[in-house]
Amino acid sequence: QVQLVEFGGGSVQAGGSLRLSCAASGLFNGAHYCMAWFRQAPGKERERVAALYGGSGNTYYADSVKGRFTISQDNANNTLYLLQMNSLKPEDTGTYYCAAARRSCWVENVSGYEHWGQGTQVTVSS
């Protein structure tokens, strides 16, 4: 049974940084999964902001976060996936979800991901 648990949300002022963590368990072989971070702002659709394919280590980012967010797999604990968020903006505010799909990261839509965490809130004030 796959479980994803997010940690690290909180409140920060614009320009600040936060790091989110996703603890994944039950993945049969992490190398065959696309691990992704989605966010959902109030009244908006859930959108993928970053993804990492376990097999190759290739990463993918939404245009809105390129150069500011970094997704990675923790070197010491390969079941921990991180999202480092720098230069945060008020428009980055939302609930952030960790998600996993047993396929490549070409799929960006919500329906392409089978497993989800419970979400963690990020609030960026101006």
Q: What average pLDDT values come out for the chain (126 residues) when binned by 10 residues?
A: 94 98 84 93 96 92 98 87 97 97 93 96 97
Q: Tell me what pLDDT residue 32 has.
A: 85
Q: What is the pLDDT of residue 94?
A: 98
Count of CB atoms situated within 10 Å of the CB of 101: 19
Task: State the Cα–Cα distance between residues 45 and 32, nearest whole angstrom.
Answer: 27
Please give the pLDDT value at position 29: 67
Q: What is the pLDDT of residue 108?
A: 93
109: which DSSP letter?
A: S
28: helix, strand or coil? coil
Q: What pLDDT score does 66 carry? A: 98
54: left (phi over 0), alpha (psi -120 to 50) or beta: alpha
